[in-house]
Structure 1
Amino acid sequence: MTADCLFCRIVEGAVPARVVHETDTVLAFHDIDPQAPTHVLVIPKEHHRAAGDLDPLTAGQVVQAAHHVAKSEGIAEDGYRLVFNTGRDGGQTVFHVHCHVLGGRRLNWPPG
């Protein structure tokens, strides 16, 4: 855990979040600035700065949890998008790896 990391503080329970899924290793909660009708963030509970820092097991757990969220939020059948923003130029604003689960509407391509 990193004391100045917002997502680590959410994992600790020091910052409230609307949690939709939790396991021993991952946590999923609604984004506070949603970009789609469904916008949930899935994070590993252990602090990792970027997607490339994840070991294959943890990466798989994050993706598996993201699919679980898509099913539970009712967007799995029509389709959804998983996004990992990495680095400032990639749009990452919180430097604790997180997967955006986006859906509930048609998502355009290219994304931006």
Structure 2
Amino acid sequence: MSRLRAVVAFAAWYAGQFLVANVRVAGHVLRPRLAHRPVVVRHELRGRTDVEVASFIALVSLTPGTLVVDRADQVVTVHAVHAEDCDHELADLRELEDRLLAAFGRPGRTT
């Protein structure tokens, strides 16, 4: 897959995730009695360059309901307001980073 194609695919995927997050947050604003389960998780970064790490942090913080609250070395601490559980939130963060790294032209998963 060409790099441009990978970037466009990532942008389309992230736009969909962003829309879903907005709808979820709007639902909680309009119906405040809905139960939400905030979690705080630590995610080990696989991105190595400053651009990769900064892009990941920016995208997480831009997504409604999530915020990077700390970064120490290669670990970020993320607060997620509307998470199913810690494992699910970590899986979502891994998927975001995998797709982002693929758009940068390198595989996100380490073996």
Q: TM-score, normalised by structure 1?
A: 0.29
Structure with larger RCO (C-alpha < 8 A, sep 6+): 2
Higher helix share: 2
TM-score when normalising by structure 2: 0.29
Greater strand share, structure number: 1
